[in-house]
C-alpha cells in the first residue's frame, strides 16, 4: 500500500492561543488542525462538560415517543425493546430497559440472533410479541429501514417507537433527486431525518436511546441527573460503533470515561478486570479494541443476550463468570478471524481482485459474523473499499463492507439495490443480504459505478507537527491528555522527525515482536523508541538503505551511519515505577 506524508500547515496565532489557554504552542497547533477555530470553540473543546450536551427535546418525535411511553407505563401496558446484536445495540437495549424500569414500566427486551434472525426487527419477532401480549415495541439501533415490518406491527394493533441512528433509506428518481422513506411508526427518533432539527447528526444508537430516556425521566418526575448513571454505556457504544469523536460525541465519551472510572456496574467492572485492567486505566482505545470486541464476540459466535445479561447482572461473582466467557469467546473470534483473513488475502491475490477499485471477496466457509472484521483488515492492507461475502444459513449470501473516505458505501450500494434482498449502513460501513447468483453481478456493477481514482487508494498520513525528539517532556505528554478522547474524527496527533540516527537496536519480547531502539535526532540528546509493527519489514527497509552488515552491527549495539524519517507517538514508560519518555514509531520512510 502506498503512502503520502503531508504536514498540515493551517495558520493561527499559536503563541496567543497558548497564552490565552495556558497550553503549549504544539497543543494549540493540534487543536487548530482539528478545525477548532476561535476562542469560544477552543474553550468548548477543552471543557467537554455537560454544558456541551444538546437539549434532547430538539430530537424530532422524542417528546411524542416519551408521551406514548408515559401513557403505556401509566396504564400498565407491556413494552418490548428490540435491539441489535452489536456493541451499540446491546448498550442501547441496556439504556432503554434500565430507563423504562426506573419509570415503573412493564418492559422486557429481545435481541435478534445474527444468524437466524438477521439484522433488526422482523415479522416473526412481531408475531411473537403479539402472542406475548406486547402492546408497544421500541426499537434501538435499528428500525429506520424496517418500513414493511413496522407496517405489519401497526396493522396488528401495536404501537411502535423507532430509535435509530442509521441513514434513512432513499430512492433516486429519474431527475436525480432523492426520495427518503421514513417508516410509519408512531414516533421515529433519529437525528439523520432531514427535518430533524437536532444540531448534531452523528449520535450512535445508544446515545439516541439515552436522549429519549432523559426526556422520559423529565416527564415521569425522575431526576434527569439519574440518566447520567448510564452515560458510560452511551460512551462505550459511541467508540465501539466507530462514531466520529467530534462535537457532542466527544463530550459524551469524555464524560463516559470519567463515569466508567468510578462505575459500580458489576458487569462493566468484571469485564475490565477480566481483561487485566483497573477501572482508572480505561481509555477510549480500550473501548474500541479491548472491551468492545468482547461485547461483540457474543453476538458474533453465540448470542448477544449474554453481553446484555452481563451489563444487567447485579452479582459481581456471576458477572465475573460471564465476563470470563466473553473474553474466551473473543479469543476464539480472533483465531477464526485470522484464518478468514489469510484465505481472503490468498483469493484477492490469486484472482486479481486487488486490481478492482472496490474489492468484493466471497468466502463461503467464513462465519458470517466475521465478515465485517475481515473487511476492515483488508481495507487497511489495500486502502480500498471492501465487501466480504459469505454463505448464510438460509441458503443466500450475507456480507459486510468497510470503506475509505472517498467512497460513500451506503450511497454506492443504493445504485445496486435491485441485487440485494436487504441492505443498510453508513458511508463507511454497511451490511447486506443477496441471492448467491447475484454475487458476480454485484462485484461487476459496484466496480462499474465506482468513480474512484488512483489517488484515492493512496493512504494519506497527515502530520500535525514536525517535532524534534528533544522537545518532548513528560509535562507536554500529560498536557496532550486535554485533547482526548482519541478516535475516529479526533485522531491521536501525528508527530514526525527527519533523519533520526539509531544508536542501537534489539528485538525483544517473549514472541520477539518488539523492536527497541535508541534514537538520536541531532538536536540534543537521545531517546528510547519502540516499534510494534512488522519488524522483519522494518529491518529489510534499513538493510536496503544501508547494508545487511550495518544492520547486524546495529543489532549488536554498535552505532552505524543509518538515518531514516518517522512519524511517532510520544509516551511515558513507567516500567517498575520509573517514568521515562519514549516514542512509539508508527510509520517510517
Three-class secondary structure of residue 447 per DSSP: helix
Neighbours of 175 (CB within 10 A): 5
pLDDT tens string 4-25: 999 998 999 999 999 999 999 9
Average pLDDT over residues 16-40: 96
Whether the pLDDT of residue 579 is over 90: the answer is: no
pLDDT at 65: 98
What percent of the chain has pLDDT above 90?
A: 84
Return the sign of the alpha-carbon dihedral for residues 194, 195, 196, 197. positive
Whether the pLDDT of residue 120 is over 90: the answer is: no
Whether the pLDDT of residue 208 is over 90: the answer is: yes
Whether the pLDDT of residue 577 is over 80: the answer is: no
Average pLDDT over residues 126-143: 97
Task: Enumerate residues 6+ apart whose C-beta is below 8 A from 501.
Answer: 519, 520, 521, 522, 559, 561, 562, 563
pLDDT tens string 395-432: 899 999 999 989 999 899 999 999 999 888 778 889 99
Whether the pLDDT of residue 147 is over 90: the answer is: yes
Whether the pLDDT of residue 581 is over 80: the answer is: yes
pLDDT at 117: 79
In the structure, how many helices (H) and strands (E) does the chain have? 21, 20
Question: Is the separation of the CB atoms in 291 and 307 below 8 Å?
Answer: no
Whether the pLDDT of residue 79 is over 90: the answer is: yes
**Does an H or E element contain 566, and which?**
strand 564-573
Three-class secondary structure of residue 359 per DSSP: strand
Average pLDDT over residues 556-581: 88
pLDDT at 568: 96
Average pLDDT over residues 86-110: 97
pLDDT at 367: 87
Q: Which residue has the higher pLDDT, 525 or 262?
A: 262
Average pLDDT over residues 547-555: 91
Range in 210-219, 320-329, 550-559 with the lowest mean pLDDT:
550-559
DSSP letter for each residue of 157-182: T-EEEEE--SPPPEEE-TTS-EEE--
Distance CA(356)–CA(445), nearest Å, equals 12
Whether the pLDDT of residue 588 is over 70: the answer is: yes
Whether the pLDDT of residue 1 is over 70: the answer is: no
DSSP letter for each residue of 201-265: ----HHHHHHHHHHHHHHHHT--GGGGGGGHHHHHHHHHHTT---SHHHHHHHHHHHHHHTT---
pTM for this entry: 0.88
pLDDT at 25: 97
Summary mean pLDDT of the chain: 93
Amino acid at each position: 500500500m502506498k503512502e503520502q506524508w503531508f504536514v498540515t500547515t493551517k495558520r493561527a496565532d499559536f503563541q496567543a492561543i497558548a497564552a490565552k489557554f495556558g497550553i503549549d504552542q504544539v497543543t494549540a497547533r493540534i487543536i487548530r488542525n482539528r478545525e477548532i477555530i476561535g476562542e469560544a470553540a477552543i474553550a468548548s473543546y477543552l471543557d467537554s462538560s455537560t454544558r456541551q450536551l444538546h437539549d434532547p427535546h430538539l430530537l424530532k418525535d422524542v417528546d411524542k415517543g416519551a408521551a406514548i411511553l408515559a401513557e403505556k407505563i401509566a396504564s400498565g401496558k407491556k413494552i418490548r425493546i428490540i435491539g441489535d446484536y452489536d456493541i451499540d445495540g446491546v448498550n442501547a437495549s441496556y439504556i432503554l430497559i434500565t430507563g423504562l424500569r426506573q419509570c415503573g414500566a412493564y418492559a422486557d427486551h429481545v435481541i435478534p440472533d445474527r444468524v437466524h434472525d438477521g439484522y433488526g426487527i422482523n415479522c416473526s419477532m412481531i408475531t411473537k410479541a403479539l402472542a406475548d401480549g406486547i402492546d408497544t415495541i421500541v426499537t434501538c439501533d435499528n428500525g429506520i429501514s424496517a418500513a414493511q415490518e413496522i407496517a405489519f406491527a401497526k396493522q396488528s394493533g401495536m404501537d411502535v417507537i423507532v430509535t435509530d441512528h442509521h441513514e434513512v433509506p432513499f430512492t433516486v428518481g429519474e431527475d436525480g433527486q432523492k426520495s427518503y422513506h421514513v417508516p410509519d411508526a408512531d414516533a421515529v427518533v433519529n437525528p439523520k431525518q432531514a427535518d430533524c432539527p437536532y444540531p448534531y447528526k452523528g449520535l450512535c444508537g445508544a446515545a439516541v436511546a439515552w436522549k429519549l430516556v432523559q426526556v422520559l425521566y423529565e416527564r415521569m418526575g425522575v431526576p434527569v441527573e439519574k440518566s447520567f448513571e448510564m452515560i458510560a454505556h452511551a460512551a462505550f457504544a459511541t467508540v465501539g460503533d466507530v462514531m466520529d469523536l467530534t462535537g457532542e460525541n466527544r463530550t459524551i465519551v469524555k464524560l463516559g470515561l470519567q463515569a466508567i472510572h468510578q462505575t459500580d456496574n458489576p458487569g462493566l467492572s468484571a469485564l475490565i478486570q477480566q481483561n487485566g485492567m483497573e477501572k482508572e486505566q480505561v481509555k477510549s482505545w480500550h473501548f474500541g479494541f479491548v472491551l468492545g470486541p468482547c461485547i461483540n464476540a457474543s453476538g458474533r459466535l453465540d448470542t448477544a443476550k449474554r453481553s446484555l445479561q452481563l451489563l444487567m447482572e447485579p452479582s459481581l461473582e456471576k458477572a465475573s463468570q460471564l465476563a470470563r466467557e466473553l473474553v474466551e469467546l473473543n479469543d476464539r473470534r480472533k483465531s477464526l478471524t485470522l484464518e478468514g483473513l489469510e484465505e481472503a488475502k490468498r483469493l484477492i491475490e490469486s484472482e486479481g481482485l486487488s486490481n478492482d477499485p472496490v474489492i468484493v471477496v466471497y468466502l463461503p466457509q467464513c462465519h458470517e459474523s466475521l465478515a465485517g472484521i475481515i473487511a476492515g483488515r483488508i481495507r487497511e492492507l489495500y486502502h480500498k473499499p471492501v465487501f466480504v461475502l459469505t454463505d448464510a444459513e438460509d441458503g443466500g449470501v450475507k456480507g459486510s463492507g468497510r470503506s475509505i473516505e472517498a467512497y460513500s458505501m451506503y450511497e454506492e450500494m443504493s445504485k445496486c439495490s435491485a441485487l440485494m434482498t436487504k441492505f443498510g449502513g453508513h458511508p463507511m460501513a454497511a451490511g447486506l443480504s443477496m441471492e448467491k447468483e447475484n454475487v458476480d453481478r454485484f462485484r461487476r456493477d459496484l466496480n462499474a459505478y465506482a468513480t474512484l481514482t488512483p489517488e484515492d487508494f493512496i493512504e494519506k498520513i497527515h502530520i500535525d507537527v514536525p517535532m524534534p525528539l528533544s522537545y518532548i517532556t513528560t509535562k507536554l505528554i500529560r498536557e496532550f491528555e486535554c485533547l482526548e478522547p482519541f478516535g475516529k474524527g479526533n485522531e491521536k496527533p501525528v508527530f514526525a522527525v527527519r533523519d533520526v540516527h539509531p544508536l542501537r537496536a534489539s528485538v525483544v519480547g517473549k514472541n520477539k515482536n518488539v523492536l527497541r531502539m535508541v534514537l538520536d535526532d541531532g538536536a540534543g540528546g537521545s531517546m528510547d523508541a519502540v516499534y510494534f509493527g512488522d519488524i522483519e519489514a522494518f529491518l529489510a527497509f534499513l538493510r536496503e538503505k544501508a547494508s545487511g552488515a550495518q544492520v547486524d552491527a546495529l543489532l549488536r549495539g554498535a552505532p552505524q551511519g543509518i538515518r531514516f524519517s518517522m512519524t511517532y507517538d510520544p509516551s511515558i514508560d513507567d516500567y517498575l515505577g520509573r517514568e521515562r519518555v519514549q516514542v512509539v514509531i508508527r510509520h517510517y520512510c
